[in-house]
Amino acid sequence: MKPNFSRMLTGALLTLCLAAGGAFAALPAVDSQNQSLPTLAPMIEQATPAVVNISTRGRVAVQNPLLNDPFFRRFFGIPDGVQERETQSLGSGVIVDAQRGYVLTNAHVIANATEISVTLRDRRTLKAKVIGADPEADVAVIQIPAENLKALPLGDSSMLRVGDFVVAIGNPFGLGQTVTSGIVSALGRSGLGIEGYEDFIQTDASINPGNSGGALVNLRGELIGVNTAILAPGGGNIGIGFAIPINMAQNITRQLIEFGKVKRGRLGLQVQDLTPDLAQAFNISPDAALQGAVVTQVLQGSPADVAGIKPGDIVSALDGQPVRDGGSLRNSIGLLRAGEKVKLDIVRDGKTRSVEVLVKEAAQESQVGAQHEDPRLAGVVFGAINESSPLYGKIEGIPVVDVDPHSRAAQAGLRPGDLLLSINKKPVRTPDDLVNITQKDRGRLLLNVRRDSAALFIVIR
């Protein structure tokens, strides 16, 4: 008698799914031949009402250098002022609080939005308002009327393991709610340059444009990640998607709801990864796990300095949680609140010790321009590169936070996201430098800015 391979395979798949799942794990269904088949349908039916589709409308300034030329505008009859165009975007979100109507999504999904519409699983369309957004971690919270909503239960992303089954739910390419499945391919992905704070879950569950802000759930139907980005050299999904761990997103969400922004903590130290060469130089046993972050600089008078931390110390744990590398430590510090006390385990001269550090709030971005008396910079908001920024210690300059589209600076071509390096060939490292230079130089301003990977000069008269 030949073995029934179909039945054997079905039994094996069912065993795997039940082992990985839990309360809403893959459950057997019955086909026309009364054979049990594994299915995720019961879990998905519970989860999908909490996942929403998001569409936005907004307006952005048209960045065309020809429009800055008054002769060009006069010749073609283009009115003075900054030209704008309407933008539209599609994404996804997850209801995390049904009583208050809070929806978790990505910051880039609602960026520059003047109107946000949320479509539920039952086809209701509701207007939403922004509660808060954190572009550095790409997390945002919006609110919709709390009427007959269902929230998705939150899981614990720290319990994830490579190989766990996951399901991605979202709105790819604007097709409407779609479900894909896969596994956790890797954990703790960072250094990708996608966001300022990166600790991604990598998955091969298909994530495509429009899935951003959608849910990554385990087989219990619990939210364990927020779908954010894909690695797509050819423009399509190749099985490498990234999601923000829900533990990280939940911490940011609480602050956005309470303050409307994230108040990041500050310890006052710079770190780098612990490499095999550094481990050897610091006389760490080659058999020891190469985990931790090496302190490279301690700012004078900072919380780390007061606690006695020194350059060359190796931070191995924060509040009992192992530190993998410099990126994971920076992420952990960035999620701390001012006023909290944290315990750092450090290795110095081969000996382990614990120190307690009082967290201070990271220096707020100094805003210059909107209140600046100089009309040449009216409508421009600059910010200082504080130590929570991924650019801290790597480059000198001040970022352009916002530009009024009707300002002189916008007409000259200055954009939000530019990094100001110098004014009139004088280096600018802080907003105070900017004020000092503009007070002395009353003529035109020659700005040297860095934009993406290029640099350019902009003249403001």
Q: Is the Cα dihedral 336, 339, 344, 348 positive or negative?
A: positive
Mean pLDDT to the nearest integer, 12-36:
50
Does pTM surpass 0.75? no
Catalytic residue, chosen from 92, 206, 212, 388, is 212
111 vs 265: which has the higher pLDDT = 111
From CA 35, how far away is CA 314, in angstroms rounded? Answer: 58
Catalytic residue, chosen from 89, 92, 108, 206, is 108
**Which pLDDT belongs to residue 1?**
38
How deeply is 437 buried, as exposed, middle or buried, from its count of CB atoms within 10 A (0-12, 13-18, 19+)? middle
**Which pLDDT belongs to residue 22?**
44
Residue 328 annotated in active site: no
Mean pLDDT to the nearest integer, 125-154:
91
CATH pick for 375-460 out of 3.40.720.10, 1.50.10.20, 2.60.370.10, 2.30.42.10:
2.30.42.10
Residue 117 annotated in active site: no
**Which pLDDT belongs to residue 244?**
93
Domains 266-361 and 375-460 share a fold: yes
Residue 36 annotated in active site: no
Q: Is domain 41-262 classified as CATH 1.10.3210.10? A: no
Kindly tell me if the per-residue pLDDT of 370 is higher than 50.
no
Q: Where are the domains of the chain?
A: 5-39, 41-262, 266-361, 375-460
User: Which residue is associated with the tokens 């980005």?
Assistant: 229
- Comparing 131-135, 314-318, 363-367, the range with the smallest average pLDDT is 363-367
215 vs 37: which has the higher pLDDT = 215
What's the mean pLDDT when you consider all of the chain? 78
17 pLDDT band, cuts 50/70/90, is: very low
Catalytic residue, chosen from 134, 138, 345, 418, is 138
What does the pLDDT look like over 93-128, one tens digit per residue? Answer: 999 999 999 999 999 898 888 889 999 988 899 999
Of the chain, the percentage scoring pLDDT greater than 70 comes to 76
Q: Assess contact for 400 and 380: CB atoms under 8 A.
A: yes
Mean pLDDT to the nearest integer, 165-173:
88
The arrangement of secondary structure in 266-361, i.e. its CATH architecture, is Roll (2.30)
